[in-house]
Amino acid sequence: MSLTGKKVIKIQEIKFRNNILNIKKSTYAIDDEWDSFLARSSYGQLEQTSLWAEAKKPSGWRPYRIVVRRDEEIIGGFQIIWQQKAGILRLGLLMKGPVIETDDSVVLNAVIDCLKMVVKKTFTALLVQTPDKDTRLTSRLLSSGFLPNRLSGIIKSANVVINLCQDEEHLLKSLKRQKRQNIRIAREAGITVRQGEHRELPIFFELMRTTCLRRGVAPNPPTEESCEILWKVFSPKNQIKLFLTEFQAEIISAVLVLTLGHHASLWKFGWSGKFGQYRPNDLLFWEILNWARAQGYLTADLGPFGSFAADGLTAVTDLGSPEESSDVRFKTGFGGEIIKLQPGLLYIPNVIYRLLYNTLFPRLLSYPAFQKYISRML
């Protein structure tokens, strides 16, 4: 398997029973071997791929990647993307990592020790959210000096994951009755769904930007250029698709889908706000799920929620704003499993900065202007 522009720097070797555990820093643009490991891992997610880091580079983010091998086989590692802020602050994001494909405590502890060492030598602070279904790491990180995250809105807390290992009939039956009715309404009204092309990315961005404007949030990706870069990076690997709904020759909504391994993510959504009475977006999501199932993907997620708590599909609480409440109810209508995501953690090596974070920071966060400033920084 090729490693494009590979450059690997050894950090350390740890005796692991009868084998050597190799922990190395890897720096190059596209790391096929690391991304392939994530694609087959139980805990691998898009935010840890080298493709993701490459797509973030034009926005000023830089990657720092550690790969852990045992007998030449990758068994774990992590990727941090970071930015320089205010001239002297180096702030890192470790989203959906570390990824460790073993339960052995020696490996888990070695990766955590390496992570702390990297942050102490390189970064001012690191914000972490461990992989969605990995319940092993959060408590270990907390006991290793990581702090609970206080940055409201940065870390999402829940997602809906659809099991695609079923035929179309059973998948349809798993939808709520109203959702099935809405799909029928859309079809009878003449709503159609098709795959989009690269040239239609500007249409997607404008629909997404319009949706964010209605919700009072900043668009992400922030610019049309960002969408182009994402397409340029992911399309050679066939890991990005665009889906569009049309009515009377007008494109009215769109979803950008990113994939990794056997998983498809309905990553970003946009809607003009028109023809809501015909329920175009119910049909759009349904057709994407059918496409993903037919392509052999085993699971699909419908995008994360923010300030949200859930206990099964029948007990959804603390839905937040009206916009978020509507989003949650729309997505849970497709059935599936609500996954509580792992909480955010923060590691600040400097003792003074840690003290300020624990004492002064909570007071400052009570000011909306300060919250917005922190959100812009990250």
Find the largest Cα–Cα distance for the chain: 67
- pLDDT attached to residue 327: 80
Is the pLDDT assigned to residue 112 strictly greater than 70? yes
pLDDT digits (tens, 9 = 90+) for 260-319: 999 999 999 999 999 999 999 999 999 999 999 999 999 999 988 764 444 444 444 444
Question: What integer is the mean pLDDT of 361-365?
Answer: 68
Share of the chain above pLDDT 70, in %: 84
- pLDDT attached to residue 13: 59
Is the pLDDT assigned to residue 161 strictly greater than 70? yes
Is the pLDDT assigned to residue 217 strictly greater than 90? no
**13 burial type by CB count under 10 A (0-12 exposed, 13-18 middle, 19+ buried):** exposed
Q: Which residues contact residue 93 at a Cβ distance below 8 angstroms, ignoring those fewer than 6 apart?
A: 61, 80, 81, 82, 126, 127, 378
The residue type found at 144 is: S
Taken in order 189, 161, 227, 211, the sign of the CA dihedral is positive
Among 14-28, 200-214, 228-242, the minimum mean pLDDT is found in 14-28
The residue type found at 192 is: T
Q: Give all domains of the chain, ordered by start, each with its CATH number.
A: 8-155+343-377 (3.40.630.30), 158-340 (3.40.630.30)
Q: In whole angstroms, what is the distance from residue 4 CA to residue 10 CA?
A: 18
Alpha carbons within 13 A on the beta-carbon side of 303: 16
Q: Which two tokens stand for residue 229?
A: 């870069």
pLDDT digits (tens, 9 = 90+) for 125-142: 999 999 998 999 999 999
Are the C-beta atoms of residues 293 and 281 closer than 8 Å to each other?
no
Question: What integer is the mean pLDDT of 350-369?
Answer: 76
- pLDDT attached to residue 57: 93
Q: Which residues contact residue 213 at a Cβ distance below 8 angstroms, ignoring those fewer than 6 apart?
A: 219
Q: In whole angstroms, what is the distance from residue 258 CA to residue 37 CA?
A: 17
Q: Which residues contact residue 330 at a Cβ distance below 8 angstroms, ignoring those fewer than 6 apart?
A: 281, 282
Share of the chain above pLDDT 90, in %: 65
Q: pLDDT-derived band of residue 205, with 50, 70 and 90 as boundaries?
A: very high
- pLDDT attached to residue 2: 36
Question: What integer is the mean pLDDT of 33-45?
Answer: 96
Note the residue count of the chain.
378
DSSP H or E segment with residue 69? strand 62-70
How would you classify the pairing of strands 89-95 and 125-129? parallel
Q: Which two tokens stand for residue 307?
A: 């300030």
- Mean pLDDT over all residues of the chain? 87
Task: With CA atoms as reference, report the closest residue to 240 among 297, 303, 293, 198.
Answer: 198
Between 357 and 36, the more confident residue is: 36
For Cα atoms 133, 137, 138, give the angle at the middle one, nearest 5 degrees.
Answer: 95
How would you classify the pairing of strands 147-148 and 345-347? antiparallel
For Cα atoms 145, 151, 152, give the angle at the middle one, nearest 5 degrees.
Answer: 140
Q: In whole angstroms, what is the distance from residue 147 CA to residue 137 CA?
A: 13
SS3 category, 114: helix
Task: With CA atoms as reference, report the closest residue to 259 among 3, 42, 49.
Answer: 49
Cα–chain-centroid distance for residue 36?
17
- pLDDT attached to residue 372: 61
Between 253 and 159, the more confident residue is: 253
3-state SS string for 279-290: CHHHHHHHHHHH
- Greatest mean pLDDT among 24-33, 159-168, 244-253 lies in 244-253
- pLDDT attached to residue 308: 40
How would you classify the pairing of strands 192-195 and 147-148? unpaired
Phi-psi region of 17 (alpha: psi -120 to 50; beta: other; left: phi over 0): left
